[in-house]
Chains A and B, each alone.
Chain A
Amino acid sequence: MKKLLSVALAAVLMTALAACSPADKNKAAAPAADAAAISGAGATFPAPLYAKWAETYKAATGNALNYQAIGSGGGVKQIQAKTVDFGATDKPLTKDKLDEAGLYQFPTVIGGVVPIVNLPEVASGQLKLSGAVLADIYLGKIKKWNDPAITALNPGVKLPGLPITVVHRSDGSGTTFLFASYLAMKSPEWSSKVGASDSLQWPAGVGGAKNDGVAALVRQTVGAIGYVEYAYAMKTANVASVLVQAKDGGWPKPEAASFAAATEGADWKNAPGNYLLVLDQPGANAWPITGATFILVYKDQPNAEKASAVLKFFDYGFASGDANASELYYVPLPASVKAMVRQQWAETITSGGKPVYTAPAAQ
C-alpha cells in the first residue's frame, strides 16, 4: 500500500511539473505579444471561423487573439461587464439597447439556416415548403407528410402518409432565433402563440442538443424535419435539405450564393445600429432564412491601441479571410457591406475623441 502511494504521489508530482513548464513558457512569451493581444467572447456559431482567422492573423502579424465561445448571451454580458475587448452575438441588439450601453455593432460573416428532412425517396432540393407551411408544421397543425398543404407545393414528389416528427434545438441558440423569427414573419399564428427568441416554448416535437443533436435525431427518425446551420445540412448524410420559398416567390437553393444574395439585397442603409435580420429579403435568389453574426465594441474606447488592434483584426478578416470562411461553410459579406462597415468604424469608434481607424480610400 505504501509503495503504491509513493508511486501515485510521484505520478502526481510529474504531471504537475509537466503542466508547469509550458505555462511558464507562455508567461514568459506573453509580454512580447501583449501590446496587441485582444480578447473577445460570445457566439459559438462563428467561433471556428474566428479561430481560423486568429491563427492566420497570428502567422501574418504576430498578434494574438483570444476568443471564448461562451454563447451570444454570454458575449453581451461580458462586453457590458467590460471584461473583454469585444463581444460577439448572433442576435443583434436593437439601436436602443446599443445606445443605452454606448455600444456599436457590425456584421462579420453570414450563415444560413436550412430545414432538413428524412423521407424515403426524397432527395436534397426536391421538397419545397413555404414559410407558412413550415410554421404550420412546427405548430403541430400539419401532422402528416401527405397533407394537402404540402402536396400542393410539391406536385410530382412522392410523399408518404408518415407522421411528421418535428425536431428543434433544445439549447438556446441564434439558429433557433433566426428560424423562429422567420416563422413569425410568415405566420401570424406563430407570431402570437410562440414568438421568437433563442429558446422557445415549442408547441410540438422533440429537442436535440446543438446542431449535431438535431441532425442526429432527424437522421434517425423517418419522417422527421429539423433545422440546422448550413454546414450541418451539407455534412449530414442521409438527410435531404428542403427548399424554402423566397420573398419574390422563387425557390433558391440553400448555398453560398443564395445567402450572399440575401445579404446584398438587404437594406443596411436604413438599419439603425446595423440591427438587421437578413430574413425574407427581396431577390429571386435570396435564401429566406439567412442571418449575419455580429461583433459588439464600445464606441468610446479607453485604450486607442487596443481598439485599433480589434478593428485591425476584423479588417484583416474582411480583407484576407474570405477563403477561410467559404472552407468552413460560412459566407463572406458582400464587398458593399464590408465597405459600409469600414466606413462606420472610421466614423463611430473613437478614443479620447479621436478616431482609431482610417477607412481605406474607396476602390
Chain B
Amino acid sequence: MLEAVFRIRELPETCMTPAPTHKTDPFDPIFRYVAFSAATLLLVTLGGIVMSLVVGGWPALSKFGFGFFTSVDWNPVTDVYGAAGPIVGTIVSAFLALAMALPIAIGIAVFITQFAPRALAQPIAIAVELLAGIPSIVYGMWGLFVFAPWFAKHVQVPLMTTFDSNPEGFWAKMFYGIPNGANLFTASVILAIMILPYMAAVFRELFRSIPPQVREAAFGVGATPFEVVTSVIIPYVQKGMVGVIMLGLGRALGETMAVTFIIGNTHLFPKSLFDSSSTLASTIANEFNEATGMHTAALMSLGLVLFLITFSVLAIARWLLSSQRY
C-alpha cells in the first residue's frame, strides 16, 4: 500500500492514460491471463491464510465463545485461554506509539518540504529511509540492552520517586512498575521509532503533492510559515494524512520481535504506563514453539484477532485515501 502511494506520485501524467490507438496482438490474451492469475494467486493466498486461522483457532473459539475476547485468564496449565490482556496491550501500545511518532513525523516532513535547504533536506530524507531498513530484531535488542536500562535509570525511577509520597495518587499509580525499563511504555517508544520513518516518508510525499502556487499564494497574502503549515498545507492533505496515520497504526499493531523483547510479557491488563504487558503478536511469537492442542488453537485465534484488527485499520485507511482527490 505504501509502495502504491509512492508509485502514483512518481509516474508522469502521460503514463496514467492509455495510448489512443489500440492494436491487437496474439500475445495479449496470454499476458492478460498471466496478470489475472498473479492477482488471483494473491487473493487465494489471503483467503487461505484466513481460512487456516479460522480452522486452526476454531477449537478455542468454540470452547470459550465470546469470553475468549473478554477474559484475562491465560493459563496453559489448565488450558483456559482469554485474549483480553494481549488485545488491550496491542491496542494501547500501538496508539501510544502513534501519539509519539505522529508529531515527529509531521515535523520531519514539514521541515524537509518547506524549510530545509536542499543540502540538508537530502541527508535527513536518507537518514529517515535508513531507519526504515533496520530489522525489527535489532530494535528489540537495542531496546532491551541499551534503551531499557537507560530509561529505567533516567526516567522511570526519578518519576516513581517523585510521586512516591502519595502512593494512592493518580501519577503514582500511572508510573508504578518494575524499575527495569521493560514495560508497555518503552515498548511503545521502540514502536514509535519503528513506524516513524514510514510515516515521515509518506507525509513528505503528501506535502510535495501540494501545488507550489497554493503555498506561494498563502505567503503572498502575508501568512507566517507557521500559519502556512497549519492553515494551508495540513488542511490541504488532511484526508491523506489520516490514511498515513492508519498505515502507521497497522504496522505498529503487528510488530512482533522488538515488542517481545521489551514489553515484559504478562497476559494481564496493564495497570499503569510502566506495567508489563503483552501484545497479540508477541504472545504468538513467545508460545507457539512449545504449544500443543488447545494452546495452539488459542494462539491461532490470537492470530485471527490480530488479522481482523489490522484488516479493519487498513480498510479504513483505504477508504480515507480513496475519498481524497490528489
Q: Which residues of A contact B (CB under 8 A)?
A: 44, 70-74, 76-77, 165, 170-174, 194-202, 205-209, 213, 216-217, 220-221, 224
Contacts and interface: CB of A to CB of B under 8 A. Distances in A.
B178 A71 contact: no
B148 interface: yes
Given A165-B178, A207-B276, 20 more contacts: A73-B289, A76-B292, A165-B180, A170-B278, A171-B289, A173-B290, A195-B78, A196-B77, A198-B76, A199-B291, A200-B75, A200-B76, A200-B77, A201-B76, A205-B266, A205-B276, A206-B266, A209-B286, A216-B145, A221-B180
B261 A77 contact: no
Contact of B290 (A165, A172, A206, A216): A172
27 contacts: A71-B290, A73-B290, A74-B290, A165-B180, A171-B285, A171-B286, A198-B290, A199-B76, A199-B291, A200-B76, A201-B73, A201-B75, A202-B266, A205-B266, A205-B276, A206-B182, A206-B266, A207-B266, A207-B276, A208-B265, A209-B260, A209-B286, A213-B144, A213-B261, A216-B144, A220-B181, A221-B180
Nearest to A196: B77
A208 B287 contact: no
Contact of A195 (B77, B152, B265, B295): B77
B179 interface: yes
Contacts of A77: 292
Contact of B265 (A174, A201, A206): A206
A289 B286 CA distance: 23
Interface string B275-294: 01010001001111111100
B244 to A, nearest CB: 25
Contacts of A217: 144, 180, 182
A181 to B, nearest CB: 11
A217 B181 CA distance: 9
B287 A172 contact: yes
- The binding surface of chain B is classed by DSSP as loop
Interface string B252-286: 00000000110011110000000010100010011
B149 interface: yes
A172 B282 CA distance: 12
Nearest to A201: B75
Given A77-B292, A206-B182, A207-B265, A194 B77 contact: yes
Contacts of B182: 206, 208, 217
The A contact surface, by secondary structure, is loop
Given A73-B289, A171-B287, A172-B291, A221 B77 contact: no
Interface of B: 73-78, 144-145, 148-149, 152, 178-183, 260-261, 264-267, 276, 278, 282, 285-292, 295
A220 to B, nearest CB: 5
A77 B260 CA distance: 25
A75 B282 CA distance: 22
Contacts of A171: 285-287, 289-290
Contacts, number: 100
A98 to B, nearest CB: 15
B78 A220 contact: no
Contacts of A220: 148-149, 152, 180-181
A252 B290 CA distance: 31
A195 B292 CA distance: 17
A57 to B, nearest CB: 26
Nearest to A168: B265
B290 A209 contact: no
B178 A73 contact: no
A220 B285 CA distance: 23
Contacts of A172: 76, 286-291
A74 B144 CA distance: 28
A228 to B, nearest CB: 15
B267 A201 contact: yes
A194 B76 CA distance: 10
Contacts of B288: 172
B74 A209 contact: no
Contacts of A221: 152, 178-180
A198 B278 CA distance: 18
A220 B260 CA distance: 17
Nearest to A218: B180
- Please name the 6 residue pairs, one residue from A and one from B, whose CB atoms are nearest each other, closest first: A172-B290, A71-B289, A207-B265, A170-B265, A195-B77, A221-B180
Given A200-B76, A207-B265, A224 B180 contact: yes
Contacts of A76: 292
A174 B261 CA distance: 19
A207 B73 contact: no
Contacts of B148: 220
A73 B73 CA distance: 22
A198 B290 CA distance: 7
A73 B291 contact: yes
Contact of B286 (A170, A194, A197, A205): A170
Nearest to A165: B178
Contacts of B76: 172, 197-201
Contact of A207 (B144, B145, B264, B289): B264
A72 B260 contact: no
B74 A201 contact: yes
A209 B149 CA distance: 16
A217 to B, nearest CB: 6
Contacts of B183: 206
A74 B292 CA distance: 8
Contacts of A208: 182, 265
Contacts of B295: 199
Contacts of B278: 170, 207
